[in-house]
Amino acid sequence: MNRYLFVMMLLLIVFLLSSILASEEKLVSGKVISDEGQSMPYVNVFIKNTFTGRMTDEKGNFAFNADITENNLLVATMVGFKNEEIDLRKYLSQSEIYLEIVLIRETVELEETIVVGSSFSTDKDKGVVVTSMDVMTTPGGAADIFQSLKTLPGITQVSESAELYIRGGDPFETLTLFDQASLNHPYTFESAYGGIFSNINTNSIKGMFFSSGGFTAKYGNALSGVLSLESKNEPEFNEYSVGLSMAATEINGSFQFSNKTGVRFNGRQNYTAPIFWLNGGEEEFTVIPISKDFNSSITHKYSHTGRIKLFSYFASDDQGVNVELPGYIDQFDGQSNSSFVNLQISDIIFSDIVVKSSLSRSFYTNEWKLGILDLKREDTGLKTRTDFEYATGSKFKLLSGFEIEKRNATYKGVIPEEDFDLREEGVGEILDAEFDVTRIGVYIEFEKSNFLVISNFYAVAGLRADYIDELDLNWIDPRVTVGYKLSDNTSLSFGWGIFHQHPDPRLYSQTDGNPNLGSMRADHYILSYDYKISNSDNFRVEAYYKDYSNLPLEEDLLNYNNKGYGYAKGIDVLYKGDITDKLSGWLSYGIIDTKRKWMDFENLSSSNFDITHNLSFVLKYDLQPNLQIGSNFKYATGKPFTPVNNSLYLTELNVYEPIYGRDNSERYPDYVRLDLRLTLLHNLFDKWFTVFYVEGLNILNVNNIFDYSYNFDYSEKQNVRSYFGRRMLVFGAVINL
């Protein structure tokens, strides 16, 4: 289909729907106060089942135009307070509506006073706000948290996978937590190109905190970044929904046993055959990618402040892909299974100490087959973690905690003796490796405003210690952030910290690794400027430098040592907010220079993650209260790669060995992608609230390249495009029953 015809079809759909749904609007305004009579800023006030609404300003005021003839329920929500819903039908005769809304505190919540740089969150007090609606409606994000996060600064566009490459770091260097538990494999369809989506259903998530660097001592064994997710609590009412699209069928539900106990569940079956049938690409697969996942939680609120929650999930996937290898085509078969269960208790003790404690068990198994490669991996984890938080007023907060995590990872099968020879008749070697360790981590930190009795000066300081007996590893990491509030809306901060992490478990193999590898280290330096333009508009610019040391480096005698090193430096810029009453979005840009001498790099060279320029521009426009169009434009500098300059024929193996040039001395073409999404909210049959959507992915049909394949003697090469990177049309609906 011609790309311009494709765009015209989408614009025609927008025009027709906007004409059909034209409506009359009236002004809805008012003020939100607490049950103690205090004005409440940053409260979400919106018309239910629409995109229409605003966040209250610093004085708790709000105002917006809305059509309330069909959707007439106004909702006010804020973390820590009970939702307030107001029926607007009695105001239909008024030309303007003014309301005073009172929110009642739900539980004792400690006030966050300080924001550390590089942070993004669903909580306004922990960083630039990223809402669940941002995730659900970002074009091209597939309502996936990881894919949606890739539109934020600090994350480089190394591939189209869901993996997070943060400020020059490998995805392994990012810690993913779920209700305090560690998720070592949060992706589906894992392969050499990374996992395509996360196996965490967005419908299960209540809150999120993401840091692209300089995070506090609360988080350990992570060199680059942190993503901490929090699941939903007990439901307030019974509700069910079903979703059907070209990519998945899903069912979601929640119901109450009582006002203190409730259950949530989400089941999803992903299938990609209809997408490839409509858009082309079936010929690239021997097994069309398919996956399924199911998660459930039961929550009991046993007191006014105490809650116990049991969360579990299961996920599996299967895929078969035709892979072009030098001179021939082979088949990659991959499948995985993942399960996770976590028990969490949270409460407030001694009147003012918040405590959260969890016990989790995770299991992951994965099989890869390609030519002579036949590898099976298992990764199990058992972890307990407890966090304490104590605050005296709003000026001082003390946090501490500990975690004990046991991890066992095994690698068994056959791997090629030479990376370039994956033929079934090639030479292989038996791999039987195990990584079985227990890590103990403890931390303590404080947050203090008016630090050193200086008004508007604040500090966050902490100390973290980790110990792994089996590897004879231990480290102590100090971390500090100091900042000054230049005005009520502007702040300047500087952060420094030391971060350690053990290398990839695969490198500890007895056969082709080094069981005595030490921990990796990165020193972070971050200078951040934040300007809150209004209650919904934020501007942030950050400069950072990361100094890497003790990275794994190949050598002949020990296979690997800790003599690798490198750096990453750059600037990230973000603007996020409401441009007009109907137009909102964010613009993020990052420039980075990162080099490493590690793994098989012979010299300090551009790392695989050195994507010099990264630009994301997300816009969402409300054509009508229940109709929104969104766009997501991405541009990134091409990924570095090591060129093949020549080849050498090996007579004894009857194969050509590539002769490489300098490490990562060339780049693939620049990455360009534009996605569009049209979302319609509608009461189906005047009964069921339904979300209809249609997405155009990569509508310009740019052939983005992430790899090259070669002929038998490496004298010719051709492009390898992303399996899900072609231009595609996807549509679906979610019906709330």
Token duo for residue 97: 């509506």
DSSP state of 638: P
Q: 637 Cβ partners below 8 Å, 6+ apart?
A: 611, 612, 613, 614, 667, 670, 671
Provide φ and ψ at 238, rounded to 5°.
-80, 135
User: In this structure, are strands 128-129 and 119-121 parallel, antiparallel, or unpaired?
Assistant: parallel
DSSP state of 557: T
* pTM > 0.95: yes or no: no
Give the span between the Cα atoms of 466 and 474, in whole angstroms.
6
Give the span between the Cα atoms of 81 and 216, in whole angstroms.
27
667 forms beta bridges with 640
Q: Tell which residue, 435, 380, 437, has the closest CA to residue 404.
A: 437
pLDDT at position 80:
63
**DSSP 3-state percent helix, strand, coil across the chain (nearest 5):** 10, 60, 35
Instruction: Output b/e per residue, 513-536; b: 16+ Cβ within 10 A.
Output: bbeebbbbbbebbbbbbbbbeebb
| 609 Rama sector, left if φ>0, alpha if ψ -120 to 50, beta otherwise | alpha
* Amino acid (1-letter code) at residue 240: Y
Contact 287, 269 (CB under 8 A): no
Token duo for residue 162: 């869901």
Give the span between the Cα atoms of 334 and 320, in whole angstroms.
6
Q: Which residue's entry shows tokens 């190394």? A: 158
Contact 323, 351 (CB under 8 A): no
SS3 state of residue 217? coil
Q: Which residue's entry shows tokens 């298992």? A: 378
Give the span between the Cα atoms of 387 and 403, in whole angstroms.
9
Provide φ and ψ at 155, rounded to 5°.
-110, 125
Burial class (CB in 10 A: 0-12, 13-18, 19+), 424: exposed
Q: Which residue's entry shows tokens 């289909």? A: 1
Give the span between the Cα atoms of 46 and 85, in whole angstroms.
10
pLDDT at position 281:
74
Count CB-CB contacts under 10 A for residue 639.
24
Token duo for residue 187: 């992706």
Token duo for residue 86: 């107001």
Burial class (CB in 10 A: 0-12, 13-18, 19+), 469: exposed
- Pick out the chain residues at pLDDT < 50: 1-5, 12, 14-23, 107-115
86 forms beta bridges with 74
- In the chain, the domains with their CATH numbers are 3-103 (2.60.40.10), 119-269+276-298+306-314+327-736 (2.40.170.20)
DSSP state of 195: -
pLDDT at position 314:
93
Contact 722, 192 (CB under 8 A): no
DSSP, residue by residue, 89-113: GGGTT-SEEEEEEEEPB-S--PPP-
Give the span between the Cα atoms of 266 and 248, in whole angstroms.
13
SS3 state of residue 640? strand
Host H or E run for residue 16? helix 3-20
Give the span between the Cα atoms of 676 and 139, in whole angstroms.
6
pLDDT at position 275:
78
Distances (CA, A) of 335 to 82, 176, 191, 407: 43, 22, 9, 21
Give the span between the Cα atoms of 99 and 27, in whole angstroms.
11
Q: 280 Cβ partners below 8 Å, 6+ apart?
A: 726
Q: 348 Cβ partners below 8 Å, 6+ apart?
A: 107, 108, 305, 306, 354, 355
Q: 512 Cβ partners below 8 Å, 6+ apart?
A: 429, 431, 433, 559
Contact 548, 568 (CB under 8 A): yes
User: In this structure, are strands 225-231 and 205-211 parallel, antiparallel, or unpaired?
Assistant: antiparallel
Token duo for residue 105: 């505190």
Give the span between the Cα atoms of 140 and 526, in whole angstroms.
30
pLDDT at position 674:
93
Contact 273, 298 (CB under 8 A): no
CA dihedral of residues 244, 245, 248, 254 (deg, nearest 10): -40
Give the span between the Cα atoms of 185 and 189, in whole angstroms.
11
